[in-house]
Amino acid sequence: MLPGEGATGDTAASETVNRDFIRDIVAADLESGRTRAVVTRFPPEPNGYLHIGHAKSICLNFGIAEEFGGQCNLRLDDTNPTKEEQEYIDAIQRDVRWLGFDWGSNLFFASDYFERLYGWAEDLIRAGKAYVDDQSQDEIRRNRGTLTEPGRNSPFRDRTVEENLDLFRRMRAGEYPNGARVLRAKIDMASGNINLRDPVLYRILHAHHPRTGTAWKIYPSYDFAHGQSDAIEGVTHSLCTLEFEDHRPLYDWFLENLDVPSRPRQYEFARLNLTYTLLSKRVLTELVRGGHVTGWDDPRMPTIAGLRRRGVPPEAVRDFVKRIGVAKANSVVDMGMFDFTVREALNKTALRRMAVLKPLKVTIENYPEGQVEELDAVNHPDDAAAGSRKIKFSRELFIEQDDFMENPPKKFFRLSPGMEVRLRYAYFVTCRDVVKNAAGEVVELRCTYDPATKGGNAPDGRKVKATIHWVSVSHSVAAEVRVLNPLFARPDPGGAENFAADLNPESIEVLADARLEPAALDVAIEQPVQFERQGYFCRDRDSTPDHPVFIRTIGLRDTFAKDVAKDAAKGKAGG
């Protein structure tokens, strides 16, 4: 741990007690004695990487377990071998851990329960509550009815128990090809709830399962696996998103018709939506497969792995989730809310460094050639314990191109011809001359410095309106800096069908010629650092010893740039 890390305490937000309708239910159940000890679970399907939407569920489930002195299981819901992979199983565990949660020894897989689930399916058959259906997928669909019309009973609905048992066992034995038959619950083909119109319990799938290999030829559906898995694990409160509300009657039906070891209850909450972001696994998978991003952990991705690589600290994700709350109303959270929590977390811990992203050469004409001075710079303005470091100053420097304007507007306080500014930690300098190339572009500034202002203060008490950052030409190191912007250009990108049209062509901007003070390199991969006046950055794993690469996690708030943009918009509207 470098100085500065963990220097400050928890935020006010993290000290406040969470209250939401689910926690109210848990508290009431504990108080009434209906629940003795709360058990929750986070049940992702290992068919992709976890994203910030999952973080909401993770924080909810693990958070409730923690707060109420209970337990939260990590359960991989691996009931569909055609979509699931070991890579995802590994990534999910890594990401939950990174978020700061610990499932102890309670790592489970739905596939651990395949044998038990199979037994329960036979129980249902013996009770006359399930049957093997020979209809094709298409016939089943047609006979299911519509939203307004009831379905029709399958011609195979009244097979005998013996025949059903025999057929089901043959299904398990692998005697039939994919799709030949399914096992269905016998409930009510006329139910207004389509999930109750004889839902499929088992389908034939000749596929390789990452954990059970080819041992099974039939696999339970989500509905048949989920509630019973909860019951096996003693889950008391099974939390899921709103779209499963319709499944709750079916969830309950299985638990009531089967000899299960416990009686969990399902509760639903609204999933997270974010502006400028798409959080469907379908879209994220396509972004990766279609090469729109470099991988699941592309720093522009809303995946946990992407956020981590981008330099977002886990406490920021947790704090964000806390701030957005939990409710049943569909909503879209403003990305600005997330940005705020990221900046807040980073501001507390990130060490400060100086880096010039788009260099403009400055020569201090009255500074002796060959002279080099070491100046003190603090590592963190609010944390003396973070210490300080030395920065070398010399005659030739780089400043930010944006910090100079030849013809500045009124409110521009930075460098311009004749203007004096402070070079942070160094001297006051005044711009005397502007050097241009043949194309008329500014390529160098000729300045003078005031030796009396060493360290940044004028003995005569005179003030400057701006302090700008800089590096010494011969004492700085070159680096590549990648500035990240939202992956999507619109706050409400199109859905799964046309998301590609809304991709932001400027989601990544590569600054190949950035110059850093050498101390900027003493941060580890993914460790946040603030490049002063610009934003929070972290060193990326693409770095090599002679080619450091930094990623901009997020820029600093910039009210000046905002004002400029506002004035420009106003001028345009007026003219």
Q: Which residues are catalytic?
A: 45, 271, 281
CB of residue 294 vs RNA: minimum separation in angstroms? 26
Site string for RNA, 39-78 (x = CB under 7 A): ----x-x-------------------------------x-
Nearest approach in angstroms of CB 165 to RNA is: 19
User: Considering only CA atoms, which of 97, 55, 90 is closest in space to residue 76?
Assistant: 90
Query: Residue 428 in contact with residue 450, Cβ under 8 Å?
Result: yes
Burial class (CB in 10 A: 0-12, 13-18, 19+), 529: buried
* Interactions with RNA, residue window 402-421 (CB under 7 A): 411-414
Residue span binding RNA (CB under 7 A) among the ranges 63-71, 86-94, 326-334, 497-505: 326-334
Site for RNA in 531-570 (CB under 7 A): 532-533, 556-560, 562-563, 566
Instruction: Report yes or no: 538 and 379 within 8 Å, Cβ to Cβ.
Output: no
Q: Does 324 bind RNA (CB under 7 A)?
A: yes
Cα–Cα dist 519/434, whole Å: 30
Radius of gyration for the alpha carbons in the chain, expressed in angstroms and rounded: 31
Nearer of residues 75 and 515 to RNA, judged by Cβ: 75
Pick 38 or 333: Cβ nearer RNA: 333
Of 106 and 347, CB closest to RNA? 347
Query: Does the footprint of RNA cover residue 437 (CB under 7 A)?
Result: no
Whose Cβ is closer to RNA: residue 445's or residue 468's?
A: 468
Pattern 268-307, RNA, x by CB under 7 A: --x-------------------------------------
The 3-state secondary structure of 352-381, one letter per residue: EECEECCEEEEEECCCCCCCCEEEEEECCC
Amino acid at 254: F
Residue 150 half-sphere exposure toward CB, CA atoms < 13 A: 8
Instruction: Say whether 229 sits in a helix, a strand or coil.
Output: helix
Residue 337 touches RNA, criterion: CB under 7 A: yes
- Which range of residues in 96-104, 218-226, 290-298, 364-372 is near RNA by CB under 7 A? 218-226
Residue 204 touching RNA (CB under 7 A): yes
451-510: which residues touch RNA (CB under 7 A)? 455-457, 466-468
Which of residues 382 and 433 has its CB atom nearest to RNA in the complex?
382
User: CA–CA distance from 60 to each of 165, 237, 267, 327 (Å)?
Assistant: 41, 11, 12, 12
Assess contact for 185 and 201: CB atoms under 8 A.
yes
With CB under 7 A as the contact rule, the residue among 152, 211, 328, 361 that binds RNA is 328
By CB under 7 A, tell whether 231 contacts RNA: no
Count the site residues for RNA by CB under 7 A.
88
Rank residues 148 and 544 by Cβ distance to RNA and give the closer one: 148
**Dihedral, CA atoms, 55, 58, 62, 63, nearest 10 degrees?**
40
Q: For RNA, which stretch binds (CB under 7 A), given 112-120, 231-239, 287-295, 340-348? A: 340-348
Q: Do strands 396-400 and 359-364 pair parallel, antiparallel, or not at all (unpaired)?
A: antiparallel
HEC-encoded secondary structure of 420-458: EEEECCCCEEEEEEEEECCCCCEEEEEEEEEHHHHHHCC
Which of 330, 407, 437, 544 contacts RNA by CB under 7 A? 330
Nearer to RNA, 90 or 246 (CB): 246
Residue selected from 35, 40, 57, 79 as contacting RNA according to rule CB under 7 A: 79
Name the token pair of 452.
């009396």
Written as six digits, the tokens of 311 are: 């330099």
**What distances in angstroms separate CA 251 from CA 13, 189, 196, 243, 526, one per listed residue?**
36, 17, 10, 13, 42
What minimum distance in Å lies between the beta carbon of 260 and RNA? Answer: 19
Q: Does 221 bind RNA (CB under 7 A)?
A: yes
22-41 positions binding RNA, by CB under 7 A: 24
**Stretch binding RNA (CB under 7 A), from 63-71, 145-153, 167-175, 479-487:** 145-153
571 lines the binding site for RNA (CB under 7 A): no
Tokens of 2: 């470098």
Near RNA by CB under 7 A: residue from 90, 102, 243, 374: 243
Measure the CA–CA gap between 533 and 410, rounded to whole angstroms: 21
- Written as one letter, the residue type at 528 is P
Q: Which of 41, 56, 352, 515 binds RNA (CB under 7 A)?
A: 352
* Residue 521, helix vs strand vs coil: helix
Report the amino acid identity of residue 32: S
Residues 339/332, Cβ–Cβ less than 8 Å: no
